[in-house]
Chains A and B, each alone.
Chain A
Amino acid sequence: MNPFDYRRAEDADSAVAAVAGRPAAAFLGGGTNLVDHMKLGIANPELLVDVTRLPLGGVEPLEDGGVRVGAGVRNSDLAADPLIRERYPVLSQALLSGASGQLRNLATTGGNLLQRTRCVYFQDVTTPCNKREPGSGCSAIGGWNRYHAVLGASDQCVAVHPSDMAVALCALDAVVRVQGPGGHRGIPLVDFHRLPGEEPDRDTVLEHGELITSIDLPELPMAARSKYRKVRDRASYAFALVSVAAALDVAGGRVREARIAFGGLAHKPWRATRAEEALRGEPATARAFGAAADAELADARPLPGNGFKVPMARSALVSTLTELAGEDA
């Protein structure tokens, strides 16, 4: 780990100015991913600006019916928040299926969104990786790629995004509020993370110096009936092989609307718009759910080590929607 300066931010403006003014500066939240990467030599900041004392810790109802989650809210507090549990159970479940109790007590909402991939080659500075060192090559292609992407990958990178929380936020149409040197902006969660393309080193659309201040959840009554399903190699404390976040609105046995996102399949949380479209107006049956999954997964391009993810994702979606349809009945 390289030496660095440490500064505790007094307010958001000065935090943004401090990081924006120095290319090798970074915000420090819970540190669970950044400090990990600093130890591994993946991240080498020269200045850490600690934003954990900024007043970004609230979970507040918004006048438009939504909920604003401060970027500094710890994952465990967000998962346990009564408003979230009542209105967006899928988000609570997704948070609780990530990491461990100890890490959730440290990790912040904003930091969770910025988690980087767990690709073993990305995490090992002795192997080539285009995400860590552009142009060096992708070791996962032709290597161990059991956990890697089946959708939206490029010949530069086949990594997947590791967050569970972000998958739920993706399904819920959340908006990421950021403050940068040029002011404030809102970024829909579905556009916040990138596909690797030719620039796999860029995980998100954030510019250097932009600070996540909150995540806004829109009013979404159907989300009261929502679920997160995570399939993993261990029963707990493991990254997803595949995961599904879904909310379902059923009336008279037919799907009025569905919100679906997959985790573990792509470089970003994967909003399953094709599946959602395929379901609209269809009977709420396992057959229709399977057809919707097939529509979404038609473009899947598995690697030699992860062909199982396609049927696994299909099954996870069908069972999740079936359970939700059962609740609705």
Chain B
Amino acid sequence: MTELLRPRAMGSDVARLEGWAKVTGTAPYAYEHPVDNPAHAHALQASIARGRITGIDTAAARELPGVLAVLTHENAPALASTEDGELAILQSGEVHYRGQLIGAVIAENPEIARHAAALVRVDYEQAGHDAEFSAERDDLHTPEQVNPAFATDTAQGDLEAAFESAPVRVDATYTTPMEHNNPMEPHTTVAVRGDGGLTLHDSTQGAHTVRQVVAKLFGLDRERVRVVSPHVGGGFGSKGLPHSHVVLAVMAAGLLEGRPVKLALTRQQMFSLTGHRTPTVQRIRLGADRDGRLTAIAHDVIEQSSKVKIFAEQSAEPSRHMYAAGNRRTTHRLALLDVPVPSWMRAPGECPGMFAGEVAMDELAVACGLDPVELRLRNEPETDPESGKPFSSRNLVACLREGVRRFGWQDRDPEPGVRREDGWLVGTGVASAVYPANVFPGSAAAIRRTADGYQVRIGAADIGTGTWTALSQIAADALGVGLEEIDLRIGDTELPHATVAGGSSGLSSWGSAVVDAAAAFREKFGTDPSVGDEADGTVPDNPDRKRYEMKAFGAQFAEVRVREDTGEVRVPRMLGVFAAGRIVNPRTARSQFVGGMTMGISMALHEQSVLDPRFGHVVNHDFAEYHVATNADVHRIDVHWLDEHDPHVNPVGTKGIGEIGIVGAAAAVANAAYHATGLRVRELPITPDRFLG
């Protein structure tokens, strides 16, 4: 990279351009796009975890007035591609997990569809199922790679010897539970078939990804499939890839000769069908000298995946880059079970992995008698410990130091379990955060001069991240015009191809394409273009990507209170300090950091999907029993970012901020809970009972 884009609109505190539509509720989400005379589908799900449908009696459902069709494997179309075990639904009567889609009822209104769904009788030949996750299993699977394409295992030096001979050692096992993304907008697809084409109003993090997948599954010409999603009610990874309900909606629409079909999953159905974060069991071994300098780091991870489709979360990946140590090893193994298919959930890998790694670092600090910030400073590597390459920028130390100052960490008494206030034990904790600065190739942008300014077109997504606003700011600076001259169009496959809003890559990738298009536009038409002039651009190849490790860093600080008598846990205060490249819009960026930390508190204290192995499904499958943090659980959250100038990452200088806010947050809370109580909780969530008996 040479020159970073000069900021003018970027860096300004601009209110969300679509904000008024959102506070009034008029911004249309997938279900809400007006379509003519829609029919309503209700999904049918398998009630066994493994086996085969031997009979499916739909007569009572079909006879119900208002029912238009019943879709099952007996009348479903053959898919053109069946290689994706999650998506290849209704191709046979085989059942791979409880809750799997086995059909749908399509009716005049949602009430009839739901009623008729309850009238469908399904007979099964049940096979024994295996849905019990355990690290003790002797049939653990070694995946070919871990998400998205990292090595499964790594090793450097002689880990065992270094660990055994280390004067200070931590050897502990940490567990994180199965968790569900639970965006507020349930996954919804409105499918409209007609004239040989297909239009989907879909709740997705990537319209073009949906088009690509659907076109391939149904053997359609990609150009005949349109996906529209201008506003998305959160995703957190669960809408990053289309799940099987999208296939069901397209199939259902195929039965109706052109009538649009609306399929909205229920909250309960989402727990089986839209991905989840795998549970993890993580053994961490740290060996250090008496001064706390690490000589050995081992991070061995066991997770679960579904037999029908393997997804291996890269939970040990961050341990490959965080701290210097000559001897290291990381491994990932999977229990393959008859369970729903795991997928991306906010910061896959880094989020659970840094919980384990950063609590282990806290344990090492205690073992060495060192301040936990100081321990981290002493183990700061000069180059990436895994690849040996330099970091394009690495400001973890600066984040920690700034956090120490802002949080008031200097005066911290390290003694655990000694601060009492009105029946509450009080403590503070710290943890580091890291997330890769991703730019995905493949996005394209087009810019056209209009009578009022410039129309900027790219099929990007705004899932709440602020894309509408921040990408407009980038476009304004790329063109050297005021923000008011930019008319951004996103969320539609009619627009140039865009990669997914995932991996914190969105703004960096789409922004790169917009900058490229703007340069092409100015080169072609100068500063006084005519209405109708148009140019396009793509994400240019960045040779620096091969020369540098590119990551954002951060430091999380938390204060925790635990009620001495009942174990209730509160987080009155958190601070996150981040070094994440250029911040395009401080207002929306702050919200993303705070939002990530809020979800981190939720992960630390509340979230846990309980999969009952006797049945094979998550039994606490609603918002009353699957707890996410409420307003009352979240108190003061301060966020600060360093003014980081990284000329290598991409022309905009952004590193991505959607995920780093959650990384390390749960570890900071757990470490603070230890400092408060003297009890080390290595298992999430940190519920009151952990402190009783």
Residues of chain A at the chain B interface (Cβ within 8 Å): 1-3, 39, 41, 118, 120-121, 123-124, 126-127, 139, 142-144, 231, 233-239, 241, 307-308, 311-312, 315-316, 318-319
Residues of A contacting B610 with CB < 8 Å?
A: 120, 144
A238 to B685, CA, bound (A): 16
Q: Give B600 Cβ to nearest chain A Cβ, in Å.
A: 15
Q: Given A120-B619, A236-B630, decide whether A241 and B624 contact each other with a Cβ distance below 8 A.
A: no
Assess the A234–B629 pair: CB atoms within 8 A.
Answer: yes
Residues of A contacting B257 with CB < 8 Å?
A: none
Assess the B630–A120 pair: CB atoms within 8 A.
Answer: no
Give residues of chain B (634-667) contacting chain A, Cβ–Cβ below 8 Å.
none
Whether, in the assembled complex, B111 has its beta carbon less than 8 Å from a beta carbon of chain A, the answer is yes
A123 to B47, CA, bound (A): 15
Assess the A316–B566 pair: CB atoms within 8 A.
Answer: yes
Residues of A contacting B687 with CB < 8 Å?
A: 233
Assess the A41–B118 pair: CB atoms within 8 A.
Answer: yes
Assess the B606–A234 pair: CB atoms within 8 A.
Answer: yes
Whether, in the assembled complex, B632 has its beta carbon less than 8 Å from a beta carbon of chain A, the answer is yes
Residues of B contacting A144 with CB < 8 Å?
A: 610, 612, 619-620
Give residues of chain B (115-157) contacting chain A, Cβ–Cβ below 8 Å.
115, 118
With CB as the reference atom, state the residue of chain A lying closest to B618.
Answer: A120
A308 in complex: contacting residue of B111, B625, B627, B688, CB < 8 Å: B688
Assess the B566–A1 pair: CB atoms within 8 A.
Answer: no
A318 to B615, CA, bound (A): 40
Main secondary structure of the interface of B (DSSP, over half): loop
A118 to B693, CA, bound (A): 26
With CB as the reference atom, state the residue of chain B lying closest to A316.
Answer: B566
Q: Give B165 Cβ to nearest chain A Cβ, in Å.
A: 41
Residues of A contacting B617 with CB < 8 Å?
A: 126
Residues of B contacting A143 with CB < 8 Å?
A: 612, 614, 619
Assess the A234–B619 pair: CB atoms within 8 A.
Answer: no
Assess the B693–A307 pair: CB atoms within 8 A.
Answer: yes
Q: Give B480 Cβ to nearest chain A Cβ, in Å.
A: 49
Assess the A1–B570 pair: CB atoms within 8 A.
Answer: no
Main secondary structure of the interface of A (DSSP, over half): loop
Assess the A233–B614 pair: CB atoms within 8 A.
Answer: no
Q: Given A238-B627, A319-B565, decide whether A312 and B115 contact each other with a Cβ distance below 8 A.
A: no
Q: Give B186 Cβ to nearest chain A Cβ, in Å.
A: 14
Whether, in the assembled complex, B197 has its beta carbon less than 8 Å from a beta carbon of chain A, the answer is no
Assess the B567–A312 pair: CB atoms within 8 A.
Answer: yes
Residues of A contacting B605 with CB < 8 Å?
A: 233-234
A228 to B566, CA, bound (A): 15
Assess the B689–A118 pair: CB atoms within 8 A.
Answer: no
Residues of B contacting A39 with CB < 8 Å?
A: 114
Q: Name, among B568, B621, B689, the residue most crowded by chain A CB atoms within 10 Å (CB to CB).
A: B689
A234 to B619, CA, bound (A): 19
Residues of B contacting A231 with CB < 8 Å?
A: 566, 568, 688
With CB as the reference atom, state the residue of chain A lying closest to B611.
Answer: A144
Assess the A120–B627 pair: CB atoms within 8 A.
Answer: no
Assess the B47–A126 pair: CB atoms within 8 A.
Answer: yes
B689 in complex: contacting residue of A121, A124, A312, CB < 8 Å: A312
A2 to B621, CA, bound (A): 22
Assess the B115–A235 pair: CB atoms within 8 A.
Answer: no
Assess the A124–B619 pair: CB atoms within 8 A.
Answer: yes
Residues of A contacting B615 with CB < 8 Å?
A: 126-127, 139
Assess the A127–B566 pair: CB atoms within 8 A.
Answer: no
Assess the A234–B692 pair: CB atoms within 8 A.
Answer: no
Assess the B693–A308 pair: CB atoms within 8 A.
Answer: yes
Assess the B111–A235 pair: CB atoms within 8 A.
Answer: no
Residues of A contacting B566 with CB < 8 Å?
A: 231, 312, 315-316, 319
A121 to B625, CA, bound (A): 12
Residues of A contacting B300 with CB < 8 Å?
A: none
Q: Give A301 Cβ to nearest chain B Cβ, in Å.
A: 16
Whether, in the assembled complex, B167 has its beta carbon less than 8 Å from a beta carbon of chain A, the answer is no
A233 to B633, CA, bound (A): 10
B630 in complex: contacting residue of A121, A127, A139, A237, CB < 8 Å: A237
A308 to B567, CA, bound (A): 10
A315 to B564, CA, bound (A): 9
Q: 28 A-B residue contacts at CB 8 Å?
A: A39-B114, A120-B621, A123-B622, A127-B612, A139-B612, A139-B615, A144-B619, A231-B568, A233-B605, A233-B606, A233-B688, A234-B606, A234-B627, A234-B629, A234-B630, A234-B632, A235-B630, A235-B632, A236-B632, A238-B624, A238-B630, A239-B624, A241-B689, A307-B693, A308-B688, A312-B689, A315-B565, A319-B565
A264 to B689, CA, bound (A): 14
With CB as the reference atom, state the residue of chain A lying closest to B99.
Answer: A126
Q: Given A120-B619, A120-B625, decide whether A308 and B633 contact each other with a Cβ distance below 8 A.
A: no
Assess the B620–A311 pair: CB atoms within 8 A.
Answer: no
Assess the B614–A308 pair: CB atoms within 8 A.
Answer: no
Q: Given A120-B620, A144-B620, A234-B630, decide whether A1 and B115 contact each other with a Cβ distance below 8 A.
A: yes
With CB as the reference atom, state the residue of chain A lying closest to B98.
Answer: A126
Assess the B619–A236 pair: CB atoms within 8 A.
Answer: no
With CB as the reference atom, state the residue of chain B lying closest to A308.
Answer: B689
Whether, in the assembled complex, B423 has its beta carbon less than 8 Å from a beta carbon of chain A, the answer is yes
With CB as the reference atom, state the residue of chain A lying closest to B613.
Answer: A143
Q: How does the 8 Å CB contact mask read for B31-57 relative to A, with 1 for contact and 0 for none? A: 000000000000000010000000000
Residues of B contacting A121 with CB < 8 Å?
A: 619
With CB as the reference atom, state the residue of chain B lying closest to A319.
Answer: B565
Shortest beta-carbon contacts, A-B, top 10 = A308-B689, A315-B565, A236-B632, A235-B632, A120-B619, A308-B692, A126-B47, A235-B633, A144-B610, A231-B566
Whether, in the assembled complex, B387 has its beta carbon less than 8 Å from a beta carbon of chain A, the answer is no
B631 in complex: contacting residue of A126, A236, A311, CB < 8 Å: A236
Q: Given A308-B692, A315-B565, decide whether A127 and B632 contact each other with a Cβ distance below 8 A.
A: no
Residues of A contacting B632 with CB < 8 Å?
A: 234-237
Q: Name, among A41, A144, A234, A236, the residue most crowded by chain B CB atoms within 10 Å (CB to CB).
A: A234
A311 to B627, CA, bound (A): 23
Q: Give A245 Cβ to nearest chain B Cβ, in Å.
A: 16
Residues of A contacting B688 with CB < 8 Å?
A: 231, 233, 241, 308, 312
A123 to B115, CA, bound (A): 17
With CB as the reference atom, state the residue of chain B lying closest to A241.
Answer: B688
Residues of B contacting A307 with CB < 8 Å?
A: 693
Residues of B contacting A235 with CB < 8 Å?
A: 570, 630, 632-633
Q: Give A227 Cβ to nearest chain B Cβ, in Å.
A: 14
Q: How does the 8 Å CB contact mask read for B41-75 relative to A, with 1 for contact and 0 for none? A: 00000010000000000000000000000000000
A291 to B204, CA, bound (A): 58
Residues of B contacting A234 with CB < 8 Å?
A: 605-606, 627, 629-630, 632-633
A318 to B614, CA, bound (A): 39
Residues of A contacting B619 with CB < 8 Å?
A: 120-121, 124, 127, 143-144
Assess the A319–B423 pair: CB atoms within 8 A.
Answer: yes
Q: Given A142-B614, A319-B423, decide whether A312 and B620 contact each other with a Cβ distance below 8 A.
A: no
Q: Knowing that A126-B617, A233-B687 are A-B contacts, what are 18 other residue pairs whose CB atoms are under 8 Å apart, sorted by A's residue number?
A: A120-B610, A120-B625, A121-B619, A126-B615, A127-B612, A127-B619, A139-B614, A144-B612, A144-B619, A234-B606, A234-B627, A235-B632, A236-B631, A238-B624, A238-B627, A315-B692, A316-B565, A319-B565
B565 in complex: contacting residue of A236, A239, A318, CB < 8 Å: A318
A124 to B619, CA, bound (A): 8
With CB as the reference atom, state the residue of chain B lying closest to A124.
Answer: B619
With CB as the reference atom, state the residue of chain A lying closest to B565.
Answer: A315
Q: Given A143-B619, A307-B693, A319-B423, decide whether A118 and B115 contact each other with a Cβ distance below 8 A.
A: no
A303 to B631, CA, bound (A): 32
A307 to B622, CA, bound (A): 24
Residues of B contacting A312 with CB < 8 Å?
A: 566-567, 688-689, 692
With CB as the reference atom, state the residue of chain B lying closest to A315.
Answer: B565
Assess the A2–B693 pair: CB atoms within 8 A.
Answer: no
Residues of A contacting B633 with CB < 8 Å?
A: 234-236
Residues of B contacting A139 with CB < 8 Å?
A: 612, 614-615
A144 to B625, CA, bound (A): 11
Q: Give B56 Cβ to nearest chain A Cβ, in Å.
A: 16
A314 to B286, CA, bound (A): 40
Residues of A contacting B630 with CB < 8 Å?
A: 234-238
